[in-house]
A and B are shown apart, each in its own frame.
Chain A
């Protein structure tokens, strides 16, 4: 339990008023149209969505996760956080293509890329999946805040889950994405300052950088300073095979759309940027800041390690960074630290409230139910969707302990068997809607078989995660490649329209020739 002074409470109340108030201020802009409520009118300079990329991916559970992998693996654990490097290539490839398509969401993009029945099936599936995923992420992040508040103040976790999400919903309901991105900017600044202060304070408390290095050597743990401390090609808990798989998934994934669960949030930021150039630099720089932040945390957690080198329980060492703050900061600064944690928390909550709502409004309501809805109606449906997501997240958060394993599986199937199809849909003209749909269906079945059913019956051994990835990729290809060649290509007129608008990279020869023939290039 932490005792807060008057100054601590002052920080907390002042920051809450600032954060919620700065979002609500943009009420008038947010209510103008659907494009304003979900994309801030597509007019933002690169640094605003960049700060939103950074703030969104700094959630309450992020320092716990980074603390866990760094405490366990040393600086080599930084590579577990390198999955966000898909933005390295995406910034100059898929972000550019997606921004030019002007689609509000990934689901909408699929109706531009594919045609006919499969495109509408895919749009409905992707939208429904994203509504579910955003609700789940809201519950996941919300209950992490509940745990932090329980650790600090002894509150029941449900209080921490609901109080801050409701405060955040005030400005998301009022101003939509305008509120999200404006609040994210100042929340991102507050969070980064707090991360610097707490991390360097913790490093100083551990004796300073030189002492940390010396203590690690004295403990026989110098390998923790080596980011490339592999445990062999295939053995141990940090094999080269895992590292290479991670590099492929993360880096090559940037050619595709949806190869990372984070794509869907980034897609909204890409589309809200005022130009193609702003879109590219917003996700590049936002992600660079995420990786630098992880490095700062990494150094601080090594400081925690030399202070407490014998922790064996995950629940103890995953709190490393939080403990550096709450155990070592002086009175008066604790409130600042907690206010920064609230900033970290609600910047993520606000993004997923608005992101889930755009799929519900644009892809389900506007596209399927009321194509002729007015802008005013769409903004109100956006608000209602936000509210539904908020309430759903409370249900998810309450049962999260029981369903985490199942939902981590749900996240895993998002990445493995559809990873390559997510790239092929961008780079190969012949890959059609039926093939993409087949890859999803195959992946839903194959992932169950490979991860749980076949190992349980002894048909195949229990595989490591990187082995599962490669196996699912190969098995999935055995389904969707035949489907590709056994079904007709997309209608050439549809593809030409998409090509002229988006100018995709890769194998688009026949479409390009047709577009040239029609004088569209």
Chain B
């Protein structure tokens, strides 16, 4: 079994899996590296280039891991959305309240 799964069916994509947790870990690290790396790179400090490159690599890695799963979730959910919206509007109109 591959370490990172990139082909999803709707049922499996709805579960919280290792890919979600990897994105959860990489994402704040990417933010921090992009912020610090940008500031130091503008000041032409070599460490800044390394940190900025790491930030970009983390961002791309995160995207590569999580985007296929998000696409599958989105496609499957859009099919159910209309019914859920009708349910939501019923609640606003108090029809669900006994």
Contact = CB atoms under 8 A, between A and B. Distances in A.
A217 B93 CA distance: 66
B74 A276 contact: yes
Interface stretch (A20-28, A292-300, A400-408, A441-449): A292-300
Interface stretch (A88-96, A256-264, A321-329, A388-396): A88-96
B74 A277 contact: yes
Contacts, number: 115
Given A276-B74, A295-B39, A225 B45 contact: yes
Contacts of B38: 292, 295-296, 299
Contacts of A111: 91
A227 B36 CA distance: 7
A501 interface: yes
A299 B42 contact: yes
Tell me what chain A mostly uses at the interface: helix, strand, loop, or mixed. Answer: helix
Q: Most chain-A CB neighbours within 10 Å: which of B24, B45, B67?
A: B24
A509 interface: no
Contacts of B28: 85, 88-89, 250-251
B43 A209 contact: yes
Contacts of A302: 43
Contact of A82 (B23, B32, B43, B84): B32
A219 to B, nearest CB: 15
B31 A291 contact: yes
Contact of A372 (B32, B66, B78, B93): B93
A288 B34 contact: yes
Interface string A90-126: 0111001000101100001001100000000000000
A225 B73 contact: no
B85 A102 contact: yes
A299 B31 contact: no
B24 A280 contact: no
Contacts of B94: 371
A85 B43 contact: no
A212 interface: yes
B31 A280 contact: no
B34 A291 contact: yes
A38 to B, nearest CB: 13
A275 B27 CA distance: 20
A92 B92 contact: no
Contacts of A280: 70
B31 A287 contact: yes
B81 A92 contact: no
B13 to A, nearest CB: 10
Given A85-B28, A213-B43, A296-B42, A277 B67 contact: yes
Nearest to A372: B93
Given A85-B31, A371-B94, A102 B88 contact: yes
A277 B42 contact: no
A275 B92 contact: no
Interface string B14-36: 10100010011001101110111
Contact of B35 (A78, A210, A251): A78
A75 B44 contact: no
Interface of B: 14, 16, 20, 23-24, 27-28, 30-32, 34-40, 42-45, 59, 66-67, 70-71, 73-75, 77-78, 81, 84-85, 88, 91-94
17 contacts: A78-B35, A78-B39, A82-B31, A89-B27, A108-B88, A227-B39, A277-B67, A278-B74, A287-B31, A288-B31, A288-B34, A291-B35, A292-B38, A295-B38, A299-B43, A302-B43, A505-B20
Interface pairs A-B: 6 shortest CB-CB: A275-B74, A295-B38, A295-B39, A88-B28, A299-B42, A88-B27
